[in-house]
Amino acid sequence: MAAPQTEKSTKQVETKKHAFSWTLHGDGCSIAPGEVVLPNERLSWPRTVGIGLQHVIAMFGATFLVPLLTGFDPATTLFFTGTGTILFLLITAGRLPSYLGSSFALLAPIGAVTGYVASGGSPLDPAKQALAQGGIIAVGATLAVVGLIVHFAGAGWIDKLMPPVVTGAIVSLIGFNLAPAAWGSVQKAPVTAVVTIISILLITVLFKGIIGRLSILFGVLIGYATAAVRGEVDFTSIGNASWFGTPHFHAPAFDPSTLGLFIPVVLVLIAENVGHVKSVSAMTGENLDDVTGRALFADGLSTVLAGSGGGSGTTTYAENIGVMAATRVYSTAAYVVAAMTALGLSMLPKFGALIATIPAGVLGGAATVLYGMIGMLGVRIWVQNQVDFSNPVNLNTAAVSMIVAIANYTLLVGDAKFEGIALGSGAAILIYHVMYWISKVRGTNLEAATPASAPAGTDLESEAYKTRHR
> Quick check: is 52 in a domain?
yes
pLDDT at 62: 63
pLDDT over 70 (residue 28)? yes
pLDDT over 70 (residue 3)? no
Which residue, 36, 61, 382, 378, is CA-closest to 204?
A: 61
pLDDT over 70 (residue 315)? yes
Lowest mean pLDDT, pick from 28-42, 79-93, 204-218, 261-275? 204-218
**Confidence tier at 108 by pLDDT (50, 70, 90):** confident
- Whole-angstrom Cα distance, residue 168 to residue 164? 6
pLDDT over 70 (residue 382)? yes
pLDDT over 50 (residue 2)? no
> Quick check: is 413 in a domain?
no
The secondary structure of 215-228, three-state, reads HHHHHHHHHHHHHH
> Quick check: is 353 in a domain?
yes
pLDDT at 80: 92
Rounded to whole angstroms, what are the CA distances from 77 to 34, 40, 73, 310?
Answer: 38, 28, 6, 7
Higher pLDDT, 42 or 212: 42
Answer yes or no: are the C-beta atoms of 237 and 353 closer than 8 Å: yes
> Quick check: is 137 in a domain?
yes
pLDDT at 373: 77
Mean pLDDT of 376-400: 86
**Confidence tier at 283 by pLDDT (50, 70, 90):** confident
Residue 418 φ then ψ, to 5°: -110, 120
DSSP string computed for 283-348: HH----GGGHHHHHHHHHHHHHHHHHHTPPPEE--HHHHHHHHHHTB--HHHHHHHHHHHHHHHT-
Which residue, 208, 230, 178, is CA-closest to 367?
A: 178
Number of domains comprising the chain:
1
List, for residues 12-21, the tens digit of each pLDDT value: 444 445 567 7
Lowest mean pLDDT, pick from 66-70, 405-409, 465-469? 465-469
**Confidence tier at 446 by pLDDT (50, 70, 90):** low
CA max distance for the chain: 71
Domain range for 367 is 37-380
Which residue, 380, 305, 252, 367, is CA-closest to 80?
A: 305
Which residue, 352, 311, 460, 338, is CA-closest to 88?
A: 338
List, for residues 170-179, the tens digit of each pLDDT value: 878 877 887 8
List, for residues 203-259, the tens digit of each pLDDT value: 888 887 667 766 777 888 899 899 989 888 888 877 777 888 888 898 999 988 888
Answer yes or no: are the C-beta atoms of 469 and 271 closer than 8 Å: yes
Q: What is the pTM of this model?
A: 0.72
pLDDT over 90 (residue 270)? no
List, for residues 56-101, the tens digit of each pLDDT value: 776 766 677 788 788 888 889 889 999 999 999 999 988 888 888 8
In this structure, the dihedral spanned by the alpha carbons of residues 116, 121, 125 and 126, taken in order and rounded to 10 degrees, is 110
Mean pLDDT of the chain: 80
Higher pLDDT, 335 or 446: 335
- Whole-angstrom Cα distance, residue 48 to residue 438? 56
> Quick check: is 310 in a domain?
yes
Mean pLDDT of 313-342: 80
pLDDT over 80 (residue 332)? yes
> Quick check: is 196 in a domain?
yes
> Quick check: is 109 in a domain?
yes
pLDDT over 70 (residue 106)? yes
Alpha helices in 18-123 (DSSP H): 45-70, 74-91, 107-114
Q: What percent of the chain has pLDDT over 70?
A: 85
pLDDT over 50 (residue 306)? yes
> Quick check: is 15 in a domain?
no
List, for residues 175-205, the tens digit of each pLDDT value: 788 788 778 778 888 999 999 999 989 988 8
Please name the residues in contact with 92: beta carbons below 8 A apart, sequence gap of 6 or more.
Answer: 19, 98, 291, 294, 295, 298
